[in-house]
Amino acid sequence: MSLRELLKKKNMLLKKSTQPEARSSTYRHIDIAAVHAIVQAAVNVEEFTIPLYMCSLYSIQGMHAITGDNKLYEGRMWPGSATTSTPDTDNKNAFNKIFKVFIEEMLHLQLVGNIAHCVGVAPKFTSEELMTEETYAWTCYGPELTTIPHILDFKDVKQGMGNDIKVNLGPLNKEQIKLFLAIEETEENAIDRIQPDKLDKYFPTAPFEKWYIGEPLPMFGSIGWMYACLWQYLSIEYDEGPTLWEALYHAPLDELERDLFNEQEDGHPKKEYPNMDMTVANPQDPRQTEHQAKMRVLDMISGITDQGEGNAISDIIRESMGVQPLLTSVRNRYQANKPNLAEDYPSYNDVGVEVDSTDAAARGDEPNVALDHFEIFTKVNALLDTGDIVTWDQWHKAGNAWTPQMLKTASYDKNEYGLPSAEDVSAALNRLKENDSGDANYKIMCQASAGAIKGITTVLDKYWADADKLFPYPSMAGSGDRMSICWAVFGKTPLLSFGSPEKESGLYHACQGLSLDPNLPSEPDHCALVPVYHTCKGSNTCKGEGGCGFIQTTTGGSNCGDTVSFARSGPKQPAGNDCSPIYYSAPSDNLCMSKGGCAVPISASQLFPKPRAPKSLQDTQAMKLFNIVEEEPSGLGFFPYDQPDMDSPYKEGASVYGVAWDAYVKVLEANNEAIPNKPAPSDLRLAFPPST
Per-residue pLDDT tens for 433-483? 999 999 999 999 999 999 889 888 988 998 888 887 778 776 777 788 999
**pLDDT, position 634:** 55
Nearest Cα residue to 217 out of 197, 233, 238: 233
CA atoms within 13 A on the CB side of 109: 23
Across the range 419-425, mean pLDDT stands at 97
460 and 313 assigned to the same domain: no
Rounded Cα–Cα distance for residues 606 and 545 (Å): 16
Rounded Cα–Cα distance for residues 630 and 252 (Å): 46
Rounded Cα–Cα distance for residues 99 and 260 (Å): 17
Q: How far is CA 614 from the centre of its chain?
A: 33
Establish if 412 belongs to a structural domain. no
Tally of helices (H runs) and strands (E runs) in the chain: 18, 10
379 and 439 assigned to the same domain: no
Task: Give one DSSP letter per residue of 579-617, joined into a string.
Answer: TPPP-EEPTTS--STTSS---BSPPTT-B--PPBPPSST
Establish if 254 belongs to a structural domain. yes
pLDDT in tens, 49-64: 999 999 999 999 999 9
496 and 365 assigned to the same domain: no
The radius of gyration computed from the CA coordinates of the chain, to the nearest angstrom, equals: 26
Residue 111: which pLDDT band, with cuts at 50, 70 and 90?
very high
Rounded Cα–Cα distance for residues 474 and 452 (Å): 9
Establish if 403 belongs to a structural domain. no
What rounded mean pLDDT belongs to the chain? 86
What is the DSSP pairing of strand 78-79 with strand 63-64? antiparallel
Across the range 131-154, mean pLDDT stands at 96
144 and 274 assigned to the same domain: yes
426 and 373 assigned to the same domain: no
Cβ atoms of 625 and 589 closer than 8 Å: yes
DSSP state of 261: S
pLDDT at 151 over 90: yes
**pLDDT, position 650:** 74
Rounded Cα–Cα distance for residues 175 and 179 (Å): 7
346 and 454 assigned to the same domain: no
Sign of the torsion angle spanned by Cα atoms 644, 648, 652, 653:
negative
Rounded Cα–Cα distance for residues 97 and 373 (Å): 9
Nearest Cα residue to 310 out of 253, 359, 266, 376: 376
Establish if 438 belongs to a structural domain. yes
- Kindly give, in sequence order, each residue whose CB lies less than 8 Å from that of residue 417, ignoring residues fewer than 6 positions away: 72, 607, 653
Q: How far is CA 77 from the centre of its chain?
A: 24
Nearest Cα residue to 493 out of 153, 167, 168, 9: 168
Establish if 416 belongs to a structural domain. no
Establish if 326 belongs to a structural domain. yes
Establish if 410 belongs to a structural domain. no
pLDDT at 9 over 50: no
- Kindly give, in sequence order, each residue whose CB lies less than 8 Å from that of residue 382, ignoring residues fewer than 6 positions away: none
The proportion of the chain whose per-residue pLDDT surpasses 70, expressed as a percent, equals 85
Cβ atoms of 620 and 566 closer than 8 Å: yes
Domain boundary among 373, 390, 407: 390
- Phi and psi at residue 534, in whole multiples of 5°? -160, 170
Rounded Cα–Cα distance for residues 463 and 379 (Å): 35
Across the range 181-206, mean pLDDT stands at 92
344 and 443 assigned to the same domain: no
Rounded Cα–Cα distance for residues 545 and 626 (Å): 13
**pLDDT, position 570:** 33
Rounded Cα–Cα distance for residues 270 and 44 (Å): 29
The proportion of the chain whose per-residue pLDDT surpasses 90, expressed as a percent, equals 60
- Kindly give, in sequence order, each residue whose CB lies less than 8 Å from that of residue 11, ignoring residues fewer than 6 positions away: 18, 20, 205
Cβ atoms of 55 and 483 closer than 8 Å: yes
Rounded Cα–Cα distance for residues 317 and 302 (Å): 9
Cβ atoms of 146 and 179 closer than 8 Å: no
**pLDDT, position 544:** 80
**pLDDT, position 540:** 67
379 and 443 assigned to the same domain: no
**pLDDT, position 267:** 87
177 and 288 assigned to the same domain: yes
**Domain total in the chain:** 2
pLDDT at 633 over 90: no
**pLDDT, position 346:** 95
81 and 17 assigned to the same domain: yes
- The lowest-confidence range among 48-52, 317-321, 608-612 is 317-321
Rounded Cα–Cα distance for residues 499 and 179 (Å): 23
- The lowest-confidence range among 145-159, 363-377, 445-459, 463-477 is 463-477
Residue 1: which pLDDT band, with cuts at 50, 70 and 90?
very low
Cβ atoms of 370 and 330 closer than 8 Å: yes
520 and 658 assigned to the same domain: yes
Task: Write out the residue range of the structural domain in which residue 243 sits.
Answer: 3-390
Rounded Cα–Cα distance for residues 686 and 602 (Å): 9
Cβ atoms of 221 and 187 closer than 8 Å: yes
590 and 668 assigned to the same domain: yes
- Phi and psi at residue 76, in whole multiples of 5°? -105, 145
Domain boundary among 344, 373, 390: 390
pLDDT in tens, 203-251: 999 999 889 999 999 999 999 999 999 999 999 999 999 999 999 998 7
Find the CATH number of the domain harbouring 264: 1.20.1260.10
Establish if 411 belongs to a structural domain. no
**pLDDT, position 688:** 92
Task: Give one DSSP letter per residue of 496-511, joined into a string.
Answer: STT--PPP-SS---SS
Residue 568: which pLDDT band, with cuts at 50, 70 and 90?
very low
- The b/e string for 347-357 (b: 16+ C-beta within 10 A; e otherwise) is bbebeeeeeeb
Rounded Cα–Cα distance for residues 494 and 543 (Å): 28
Domain boundary among 341, 373, 390: 390
**pLDDT, position 608:** 86
Long-range contacts of 563-567 (CB under 8 A, 24+ apart): 563/609, 563/610, 563/611, 563/612, 564/611, 564/612, 564/650, 565/611, 565/612, 565/615, 566/611, 566/612, 566/613, 566/614, 566/615, 566/619, 566/620, 566/621, 567/612, 567/614, 567/615, 567/616, 567/619
pLDDT in tens, 529-555: 888 887 766 666 667 888 776 667 777
DSSP state of 419: P
- Kindly give, in sequence order, each residue whose CB lies less than 8 Å from that of residue 39, ignoring residues fewer than 6 positions away: 112, 115, 116, 119, 121, 123, 230
